[in-house]
Structure 1
Amino acid sequence: MNLLQLNTYLAHTKIVGLVAIVISLVAWSTDLGGIVYICPYCRAQRTVIGILGLTLISPAATHWITKYLGLVIGFFGATVAANQHFMGWKKISAGTFEFKENIVIDPFLLSGCALFGIIGLTYLLLFSGKSVAKEN
């Protein structure tokens, strides 16, 4: 299993989906446990990650309607993550940016990770059941 090959992820979409669900549940537990502050952007992103994970492990993941709904949900989550991430870039441009004291819960870093994750999950959902040509 080569982690740098796209076919690895396309062949193991259910495992990726389970990892996404775990990430979503851990993120929600930190919110509900009061470890992080209440943030509607973060809540939307972690919910979208969980929904996309559930969709990837679903037997209906290869149906075109499921793929379409996943695209809509994924684009929503990516838009929310991009907006939150851009607010950090806006602060950087204004010279007022500072990382949070606890860098693990910094919204700039987390929204960037969520953006990558949501787009990746959406891609995997869109192309689940297919494999790409072997790259040399």
Structure 2
Amino acid sequence: MNLLQLNTYMAHTKILGLVAIVISLVAWTTDVTGMVYICPYCRAQRTVIGLLGLILVSPAAKLWIVKYIGLVIGFFGATVAANQHFMGWKKISAGTFEFKENIVIDPFLLSGFALFGIIGLTYLLLFPSESKTNEH
């Protein structure tokens, strides 16, 4: 298994879907227990990650309508993540940017990771692996 090959991820979409669900649940647990501050951007992103994970593990992920719904959900989540991340770049440009004291919950870093994850999950949902396309 080569982690630098796209085919590795495309062959294991169900595992990645489960990982996305776990990430979403852990993130929601930190929110519900009050370990992190209330952030509507973060809530939207963690929900989208979980929903995309559920779609990826679902057998219905092969249906065009489910792919379309996943695309809409993914586009929404990526837009929210990009907006939150851009606010950090705006602060950098203004010279007012500072990382949170607890860097693990820094919104600039988390929104960047969420943006990468959401786009990756959406890609895996929309494009079948080469081995699947060669069968048809």
Q: TM-score, normalised by structure 1?
A: 0.95
1:85 equivalent to 2:85? Answer yes
| 1:60 shift after superposition | 0.6
1:65 aligned residue: 65
Deviation at 1:53, TM superposition (A): 0.1
Q: Unaligned regions of 5+ residues in structure 1, if any?
A: none
Q: Which runs of 4+ in 1 moved over 2 A?
A: none
Counterpart Cα distance in 2 of 1:127 and 1:33: 37
How many corresponding residue pairs? 132
Counterpart position of 2:22: 22
Q: Which has the higher contact order (CA 8 A, sep 6+)?
A: 1
- 1:55 match: secondary structure: helix
d(CA) in 2 for partners of 1:76 and 1:15?
Answer: 23
Identity %: 86
Q: Which residue of 2 aligns with 1:42?
A: 42
Question: Greater helix percent: which structure?
Answer: 2
C-alpha distance in 2 between matches for 1:52 and 1:24: 10
Q: What does residue 9 of structure 2 align with?
A: 9
How far apart in 2 are the matches of 1:102 and 1:10?
34
Q: Under a length normalisation based on structure 2, what TM-score does the superposition of the two structures give?
A: 0.95
Q: Is the 1:11–1:131 Cα contact (8 Å) retained in structure 2?
A: no
Cα contact 1:52–1:122 (8 A) shared by 2: yes
* 1:102-122 superposed Cα distances (whole Å, 9 cap, x missing partner): 000000000000000000000
Shift of 1:131: 1.8
Measured on the aligned residues, the alpha-carbon RMSD in Å equals 1.2
Q: Which amino acid aligns with 1:84?
A: Q
Give the distance between the partners of 1:90 and 1:99, measured in 2 at CA: 14
Q: 1-side partners of 2:35 and 2:130: how far apart?
A: 40
